[in-house]
Chain A
């Protein structure tokens, strides 16, 4: 069993990844979603924003060598896109820009695998549309032994038409010893909706399997909300990892194996595109427990009514939240986890980070460790086939 991680290339996510141990990285199949990256500094504030995609691509080359696989994709979130990501996904000349970029980075990191992009302009005929996708697929098959198709299951009921159109090519590709994967992306999975999601997806899975009998199918999603109090209490609470339940439900309702993947506890709408944090922000520290729930503590800041500024630094609020987590009976040790160590450190001395971004990295690294440990446990519990 391999754990699949959908990773957006934000600062918090990349920090979490960099701090994951090499031993753990080797067990993860990463689906990297190229996002716009950080804004380039420009003294001219009226100039259009420019983002450093090259820096992100360099990071993908350097930091994703030791994972099981590194599939590269482009964001579907408008708020995370840029002129660079748009240019890269252009369907012109059979998605030439995309194919060339993938070949280039594969030359520097042999672990790189492609995502097949579907990005019609809305102006082309069906034949033009089909020809561009076929050209992209053929070019990718020449250089890669695994191709992934990512489908927004809930938003894109028509994605099966693409698979139908490509079925003969995909089956021939697999027969030649290669692999084709479909990532069923459920995005944000609201609490208590795993059954609804799974019931909707089962006929899709069956149809996929009819067209491509050897297709690999992975479900990904996240139950981490945009605002934690949407699903939990103000000061502290726990909530279930609905993405884990969804995958279990998908596998329970039909016989085609669906591999597990998730967003690493990151909401699809990333926090760094939300408005800047003010003094009223309630710092929270989150911890994935050993029984598949997220435990959190939030601390109300003390803001001076006249000055509207924090009366004690935010870093102390994080320390307080970390201490509460550590003293909670649901907190338990995670060997070889940077995030776990950071919570322990913060509870004993001043935390290393005082930004929400830093604590998102902590949460994400812990979440990945927990999923890997769960997989290891389930594998060792499974009865031997011999």
Chain B
């Protein structure tokens, strides 16, 4: 079929052209994010480097703070600048999911960031599929646990939940939620 991005054969003798990727703020799906940063040589195996993704984005700053009972927030600081803060007291794997959740807000809900509270609890089982929190969780789960990485983690650990979570650098709760969505039966 006609592709959006056809694979053109290279003209013999043509010099290598520097690619001109679109601004990272226009990425619209977890697959696009992974593809984009893969092309820049960011290592995505065995775990997706969300912290590096955020730190390499000029529109974003990442801070670690004591947020009390909250996990994280995203805040608009100027027209094209946003701050992502995560709770410095949490386990690194939980922080990763929080970062991915706020990063999802940045890509999916850019126009609504100014109305978001400065601090939120991220609940993995947010029932309303239409809510922006559900959408951000879903995006974060797909970004940190793409199906192929989940499969290889499954193979490498024999399906051991703790081992898989450790390999993917996510919490067991987040992994359980993702496995459930992918149709895996979890004992």
Q: Footprint of B on A, CB under 8 Å?
A: 74-76, 78, 81, 85-86, 89, 117-120, 122, 124-126, 128-129, 152-158, 161-162, 188, 190-193, 195-197, 199-200, 203, 227, 229-231, 234, 239-240, 282
Contacts and interface: CB of A to CB of B under 8 A. Distances in A.
Nearest to B12: A126
B69 interface: no
A319 B3 CA distance: 41
A156 B9 contact: no
A106 B99 CA distance: 54
A162 B3 CA distance: 14
B11 interface: yes
B9 A124 contact: yes
B183 interface: no
Interface in B86-111: 107-111
Contacts of B12: 126
Given A152-B4, A190-B26, A191-B110, A230 B132 contact: yes
Given A193-B26, A196-B25, A231 B3 contact: no
A118 B2 contact: yes
Given A86-B1, A119-B3, A229 B22 contact: no
B26 A230 contact: no
Contacts of A86: 1
Contacts of B1: 74-76, 78, 81, 85-86, 89, 119
Contacts of A162: 8
Contacts of B20: 157, 203
Interface of B: 1-12, 19-23, 25-26, 28, 80, 107-112, 130-132, 135
A120 B6 CA distance: 7
A89 B108 CA distance: 33
A381 to B, nearest CB: 28
A360 B157 CA distance: 48
Given A78-B1, A86-B1, A196-B26, A230 B108 contact: yes
15 contacts: A76-B4, A86-B1, A117-B2, A120-B6, A120-B9, A122-B7, A152-B5, A154-B26, A156-B4, A157-B19, A188-B28, A190-B28, A197-B26, A229-B132, A231-B109
B23 A227 contact: no
Contacts of B111: 190-192, 231, 239-240
Nearest to A154: B22
Nearest to B113: A192
A120 B2 contact: no
Nearest to B134: A229
